[in-house]
Amino acid sequence: MTTLNFSCLDDYDPQWLPVDRARQIMLDMLPAVTGHECLFIRQALGRVLAEDVISPVDVPAHDNSGMDGWAVRSGDLAAEGETRLSNIGTAFAGRAFAGAVGRGEAVRIMTGAMLPAGADCVVIQEVSRVEGDAVIVPAGQRAQQNIRRAGEDLRAGKPAIPAGKLLRPAELGIIASLGVAEVSVRRRVRVALFSTGDELCSIGTPLFPGAVYDSNRYTLWGMLTRLGCEVIDMGVVKDQPASLEAAFREAASGADAIITSGGVSVGEADFIKQLMQKLGEVAFWKIAMKPGRPMAFGRIQPDGGENGAWLFGLPGNPVAVMVTFYQFARPALLKLMGLDPVPEFPAFPARCVEDIKKGKGRTEFQRGILFQENGEWCVRPTGHQGSGVLSSMAAADCFIVLEHERGSVAAGEAVQVQLMTGLV
């Protein structure tokens, strides 16, 4: 059983947690899931490497030419003017030249071809000229130029990719370049998901007065799927103690993490919070941010035993769900997935072209649209920034991050933006 000691944390005030502190608390508490599986390279795309991939070979396996040209001995070349060498054959990629380059000789060489014995320099074909059986090369060549050394990319016996790396196309290529067919990756993180609220309707049922369609399960499903998690969609759960308790118990027994939306705000009936606390150890936070102030984090472990899952109780408003997912649940899930280090959101400064009103003492995540003007990256807010206005997320390609201590922004000032492209 995992015990969480929220009360022992430094600078911990659940009623007022800065964004960075809340994120750090989660990251510090979460372990990576245990359990590996062996997968063929292509199946491993998007997964996290469980063990270092040790290179069984040098890559490249032999010294070879980086250019099309002539393999020569640098010591043969005159310091000034041209040198005339005799052309004794050709080295192709995958078809080596059988002999060696002797004094006064040159071998025509293709990119990737093994460097013939005796040669220590490749002169590019563009500066050379052929005259009958001879090749004329100019002065100014250096020993070792245009040669790719054996092992310069990866060394035999050394880690080619460390455990904890996300396997992207480049990593798949590296693994293939070693002649390795299978790798050990961490198992997928299983995330159970449900929406809470008596007002929620699922698609396919008509809206009753006062009802809204449940959109959070779809945005969350999308974000989790993009992350490579296995998603268990448990549907809408009404604000009733018995249904909620059953849902939490089922989720905790089959998943590593539970993500709920709704039910953690001040206006909600307290029984949801009491229930979460009864079934595990959960902290209710008011995070100094907008949107997305209320949030629950902890563990649901109904029987106190091994069966348990991390809980991310996100607010109900559709934009707040996405913001809190990206700012908290995403890094936390990356940690559970075994990513080491957990990557930061890609962020950079851009010039804000509109005024933005903001008070100090909380971090704001406005939705923004990036564009280029006179070679400079600029950003403008998407318009109405209400936490229920999901179209502001759809229009956005970045978050404009207005830091905790920052006041209002005047048009023309630089602001930090977090790039969502590729994530959303």
**What residue ranges bind ligand AMP (CB under 6 A)?**
195, 197, 199-200, 212, 214-216, 261-263, 265, 267-268, 315-318, 388
Q: Is the Cα torsion angle 332, 398, 193, 266 positive or negative in sign?
A: positive
Residue 383, CB-side half-sphere exposure with 13 Å CA sphere? 8
Residue 200 contact among ligand AMP, Mg ion, none, beta carbon within 5 to 8 Å by kind: ligand AMP
3-state secondary structure 9-72: CCCCCCCCECHHHHHHHHHHHCCCCCCEEEEEHHHHCCCEECCCEECCCCECCCCEECCCEEEE
| Nearest distance in Å: CB 316, ligand AMP | 2
Tell me whether residue 84 or residue 238 sits nearer to Mg ion (CB atom): 238
Tell me whether residue 143 or residue 212 sits nearer to Mg ion (CB atom): 212
Chain residue at closest Cβ approach to ligand AMP: 316
| Nearest distance in Å: CB 199, Mg ion | 7
Tell me whether residue 308 or residue 316 sits nearer to Mg ion (CB atom): 316
Residue 216 contact among Mg ion, ligand AMP, none, beta carbon within 5 to 8 Å by kind: ligand AMP
Tell me whether residue 383 or residue 388 sits nearer to ligand AMP (CB atom): 388
**DSSP secondary structure letter of residue 409:** B
Query: How far is residue 350 from each of residues 183, 377, 415, 417, measured CA to CA in Å?
Result: 40, 5, 6, 7
| Nearest distance in Å: CB 261, ligand AMP | 5
Residue 403 contact among ligand AMP, Mg ion, none, beta carbon within 5 to 8 Å by kind: none
Biggest distance spanned by C-alpha atoms of the chain: 93
**DSSP secondary structure letter of residue 145:** T
CB burial of residue 327 (10 Å; 0-12, 13-18, 19+): buried
Residue 267 contact among Mg ion, ligand AMP, none, beta carbon within 5 to 8 Å by kind: ligand AMP
CA–CA separation, 141 and 23 (whole Å) = 56
CA–CA separation, 91 and 94 (whole Å) = 9
Q: Which residues bind Mg ion (CB under 5 A)?
A: 197, 262, 316
| Nearest distance in Å: CB 6, ligand AMP | 22
CA–CA separation, 279 and 244 (whole Å) = 11
| Nearest distance in Å: CB 199, ligand AMP | 5
The two structure tokens encoding residue 54: 């040790």
| Nearest distance in Å: CB 181, ligand AMP | 43
Residue 315 contact among ligand AMP, Mg ion, none, beta carbon within 5 to 8 Å by kind: ligand AMP
| Nearest distance in Å: CB 197, Mg ion | 4
Tell me whether residue 291 or residue 316 sits nearer to Mg ion (CB atom): 316
* Residue whose C-alpha is closest to residue 176's, from 40, 38, 52: 40
3-state secondary structure of 192: strand
Residue 116 contact among Mg ion, ligand AMP, none, beta carbon within 5 to 8 Å by kind: none
Tell me whether residue 193 or residue 334 sits nearer to Mg ion (CB atom): 193
Tell me whether residue 50 or residue 264 sits nearer to Mg ion (CB atom): 264
| Nearest distance in Å: CB 215, ligand AMP | 4
Residue 368 contact among Mg ion, ligand AMP, none, beta carbon within 5 to 8 Å by kind: none
CB burial of residue 230 (10 Å; 0-12, 13-18, 19+): middle
Tell me whether residue 150 or residue 251 sits nearer to Mg ion (CB atom): 251
Residue 313 contact among Mg ion, ligand AMP, none, beta carbon within 5 to 8 Å by kind: none
